[in-house]
Amino acid sequence: DSLGVTSVPLNQWPDDVDLEALVNDMNSSFESLYSTCSSVQSESVPLLQHNGQVHRDHHRIAPMPPHTHTSNSELQHSTTSPKQRRRRSQPMHILAVRRLQEEEQQLRTSSLPAIPNPFPELSGSPVLSPGSLPPCQPSGTYIINIFSEDGMGKVVEIPADMTARDLCQLLVYKSHCVDDNSWALVEHHPLLGLERCLEDHELVVQVQASMTSEGRFLFRKNYAKYEFFRNPLNFFPEHMVAWCQETNGAIPPSQLLQNFLNSSSCPEIQGFLYVKEMGRKSWKKLYVFLRRSGLYFSTKGTSKEPRHLQLLADLEDSNVFTVTTGKKLHSAPTDYEFCIKPNKRTELKELRMLCTEDEQSRTSWMTAFRLFKYGIVLYQNYKIPQQRKTLSHFSTPVRSVSENSLVAMDFSGRIGRVIDNPLEAQSAAMEEGNAWRKRSQRMNILGSPSPLHPCLLNSVIHRTQLWFHGRITREESHRMIHQQGQVDGLFLLRDSQSNPKAFVLTLCHHQKIKHFQILPCEEDGQIFFSLDDGSTKFTDLIQLVEFYQLNRGVLPCKLKHPCTLVAL
């Protein structure tokens, strides 16, 4: 009917049918239909050639009734001019045909009845309507490559709206790690020597779109991500924070947090920085101001007057990165370099390189950059794990499955019972530990031939712990501590390079890394370990670490955060 051709029953066909006129009507119908679908004509072979014999043989609409005949006079009367013949022989575009097929498919699916959904809890709808049927090919998923510290990679398929926090939770779940809200996704550029931790609310797909081909994502710990919110009063040195309008107006420490998060206030970070000149290898020491509107430097000493300020970088379309190869690649004056990189794909000469005198200053400048750019969103990211909100894509247990399945049992009686009292459970654990050590001493005296000989067990049991990293160098331990935050109490244990029987405790305190040697000592035929010349002795390194996690002893601070590597 849409083509202008009306079907007629066989018993109502007329005696004489003009086949040529019928074909002409069909051509004109096709022409009027497809002329609206495309305005551009392409050169192709005509689909309908007005050739008398061809039409009679290949475009028969219906079988002719037995009493139908056509006279020659009628055929001559119905012939058209060559001009009209060319007009009817215009090519029919393939796009128009495809569009018609799609419309026909939509009409066909829309006429389908509603299908009861057998899994309403998965889609949130009790009925699967034709419009809600899943497409054949998913259009909202992307492939992301994630790398661990050992260089091994993992391919993950994620939706387009997955945030960095959600992806970290997914990797924690798949890697069977304990979720302590300190895992981070790192944007790493090895050729440029840059890296930064993604904010929890950032979309991973959008960040990947702005990265170059050599860029990659790393999965690692970062304990310093929200260190400012844990200790806002003592985070910034007093001389760095001031008001933009006043020359010597310092902000009270008690009002520091709310002024940074309040978009209507105008605090600023000020101080001297080494700034690399664009396109050159030389550095200049300038007095710099960081405000919500951007990063500026003064052309006249420490003046704040607007006529003396020039813009160095914009905060809105940029991100702040730590430079890992500053002295080698950029001839930086110190080791504490950072850079401001535009979100677009940029070259090395377009980066704004900056350098500070010490690690505390670099951390303060980079944290202030994040606070000015994200404001209250950064504080909400810090609060979400504490509020135990359910994530949008999935939820994972805070502790590992093995921890959740352990209970304290008492088998001293005829029937075992579960110990509900925490104090009683702790006392039972201590008694069991002391009894195990007594048994190990007795077995050591008798010379037990067991394969788990206590001397052998004490010397290797620490190798199963996440904080032990074997035979790594002093420089590698420094690099790992730097990468995971340089917060107080961040530690790791490693083999000593100078003494093959000793171990080294590497500890971070006040953003400085210190090393303590753990020496073995023998008493009554048994080997102990000590880091204070034998004043406090431990049978194995696990006992030593557990003691200094509760007691500071001779260390500058307690052991708080183990420096951990994960294998994806």
Summarize pLDDT for 268-287 with one digit per residue, the tens.
899 999 999 887 888 999 99
pLDDT of residue 58: 43
- CA–CA distance from 481 to each of 328, 364, 475, 487, 546 (Å)? 20, 18, 10, 9, 20
Q: What are phi and psi of 333, to 5 degrees?
A: -70, -25
Q: What are phi and psi of 196, to 5 degrees?
A: -155, 155
Per the DSSP assignment, residues forming a β-bridge with 279 are: none
Segments in the chain below pLDDT 50: 1-11, 13, 15, 37-80, 82-92, 110-112, 119-138, 389-405, 443-454
Q: Which residue has the tokens 């008001």?
A: 243
Q: Where are the beta strands (DSSP E) in 228-380?
A: 241-243, 267-276, 283-291, 294-298, 309-313, 318-323, 336-342, 352-356
What is the rounded distance in angstroms from the CA atom of residue 474 to the CA atom of residue 486?
15
- CA–CA distance from 557 to each of 28, 456, 560 (Å)? 91, 31, 9
- CA–CA distance from 506 to each of 391, 475, 535, 556, 565 (Å)? 36, 11, 20, 12, 15
Q: Which residue has the tokens 């379309």?
A: 317
pLDDT of residue 260: 84
Residue 241 tokens, joined: 């924070």
What single string gives the DSSP state of each residue in 389-421?
A: PPPSS----SS-HHHHT---EE-SSSS-EE---
Residue type, 214: E
39: CB partners within 8 A, 6+ apart? none
> Would you give the end-to-end CA distance of the chain in angstroms?
63
Contact of 155 with 143, CB cutoff 8 Å: yes
Q: Which of 408, 406, 412 is nearest to 424 (CA)?
A: 408
pLDDT of residue 563: 92
34: CB partners within 8 A, 6+ apart? 92, 93, 96
The 10s digit of each residue's pLDDT in 278-324 is 878 889 999 999 999 899 999 998 888 889 999 999 888 899 999 98
b/e map 363-401, b = 16+ CB within 10 Å: bbbbbbbbbbbbeeebbebbeebeeeeeeeeeeeeeeee
Q: Under DSSP, is residue 378 helix (H, G, I), strand (E, B) or coil?
A: helix
Residue 263 tokens, joined: 């978009």
pLDDT of residue 197: 95
496: CB partners within 8 A, 6+ apart? 502, 503, 504, 517, 518
HSE-up (13 A, CA, CB side) for residue 309 = 16
